[in-house]
Structure 1
Amino acid sequence: MDDMVKSARPHRERAKKNAIGRKPTREEAEAAVATLLAWAGDDPSREGLRETPARVAKAYLEVFAGYAQDPSDVLDTVFEDVGGYGEMVLVKDIPFYSHCEHHMAPFFGHAHIAYYPAGGVFGLSKFGRLVDIYARRLQTQETMTAQILAALDARLNSRGAAVMIEAEHMCMSMRGVRKPGATTVTMQFSGPFKTDPAEQARFLSLVRRR
């Protein structure tokens, strides 16, 4: 668990330690995009692509903003006055967009998060923000699922948590086997969700209920 929590922290040092020994400049990033455009067979200097490298660099700052964010900053407030509530809290159908680390192709879908409070609860908006932090990084869906659970367990100290992610991967839909509509489902559990099959079944039943 300690190793997973450490891996859940921002990747600022990883961004600095790259092949050239430092984080590239904005100009270098734009030049790299222009090189890829030329390698794909187009002319980066033509009118329609002239500003594309700058647009892509700007877009990357947004879609990969999770590298500069720390989940502990999002999970910074726990509300302890919950009137003795101790039953399951479930936030489901949290939409997200991410990019896989293998092909840098998008994958997108919904996350479902549940936990049993033990002395306090998070504000509901925190779950969406937590999902976004990890979604806005290059990674696998499996890693994203495990990181979200680890962050919840480390900060909330709940009696147990469950994370389920359902997503479609463009690296499978657009290329390779080209199977659009195929959905990948990943799950990670702790506490009673992990040890009690009945709790897992209850969680899955509530997620599927419409």
Structure 2
Amino acid sequence: MSDQLSQITHNYREILVGLGENPEREGLLDTPKRAAKAMQYLCRGYEQSLDEIVNGALFASDNDEMVIVRNIELYSLCEHHLLPFIGKAHVAYIPTGKVLGLSKVARIVDMFARRLQIQENLTRQIAEAIQSVTDAAGVAVVIEAKHMCMMMRGVEKQNSVMNTSVMLGAFRESVNTRQEFLQLIGRSK
């Protein structure tokens, strides 16, 4: 077991004791190690970089029309309570000579989502990463998510959904471009 995994496992064991549980009882014997491995997996975005994710998957293109990837599932952990928030991201960009491999958009979403986050920052990080990689004329990101910290504790509101958006370049400057994007993802009235 790595030093990092060992330390996290120890910490989970201490949490169980602090909660009044017996980590030696049958059902909990391997729980600290399983929880440690799960947390490492859920936070694997810290071990990834934008360069590794993109891996050269930029392709020359004459297309200068909006490219949209809708309904990208995302799973993240709220940095305030370490509870999940789950939702989907809609990402668009307007190419200026090169397009990004389709799966790379989803991988960029995942990389940032797999870090302790607040949704507002996650939305901006995705938009800025797509902008820096593609040098697009504009980038738009909308995320809608349900937060377990609001559903399982606190105000316990089961149907609340948080929406965040970041508009860069043409999406920020042009009402028509922004409206087209919002209509295409089904968010405009």
TM-score, L = length of structure 1: 0.85
1:79 and 1:196 mapped to 2: Cα distance?
Answer: 26
Alignment of 1:167-206 (within 5 A): 167-206=145-184
Confirm or deny that 1:58 pairs with 2:37.
Answer: yes
1:28 and 1:155 mapped to 2: Cα distance?
Answer: 36
For 1:203, the aligned partner's letter is F
Confirm or deny that 1:157 pairs with 2:132.
Answer: no
Gaps of 5+ in 2: none
Confirm or deny that 1:107 pairs with 2:85.
Answer: yes
Percent identity between the two aligned chains: 42
Moved more, 84-93 or 25-34: 25-34
Classify the secondary structure of the residue corresponding to 2:185.
Answer: helix
* Aligned length, in residue pairs: 185
Aligned twin of 2:6: 27
Confirm or deny that 1:146 pairs with 2:124.
Answer: yes
Q: CA deviation at 1:182?
A: 0.5
Aligned twin of 2:97: 119
2:5 and 2:133 mapped to 1: Cα distance?
Answer: 35
Gaps of 5+ in 1: 1-22
For 1:64, the aligned partner's letter is C
Confirm or deny that 1:69 pairs with 2:48.
Answer: yes
2:33 and 2:51 mapped to 1: Cα distance?
Answer: 32
For 2:163, the aligned partner's letter is V
Q: CA deviation at 1:24?
A: 6.0
- Aligned Cα RMSD in Å? 1.4
Could you tell me which of 78, 82, 87 is aligned with 2:58?
Answer: 78
For 1:35, the aligned partner's letter is E
Structure having the higher strand fraction is 2
TM-score, L = length of structure 2: 0.94
> Taking structure 1 as reference, are residues 50 and 67 closer, same or farther at Cα in structure 2, changes over 3 Å only?
same
CA deviation profile, 1:154-195 (whole Å, cap 9, x unmatched): 111011110010000000000000001210000001111001
1:55 and 1:124 mapped to 2: Cα distance?
Answer: 33
2:3 and 2:88 mapped to 1: Cα distance?
Answer: 33
For 2:99, the aligned partner's letter is V
CA deviation profile, 1:130-153 (whole Å, cap 9, x unmatched): 010001000100110000111111
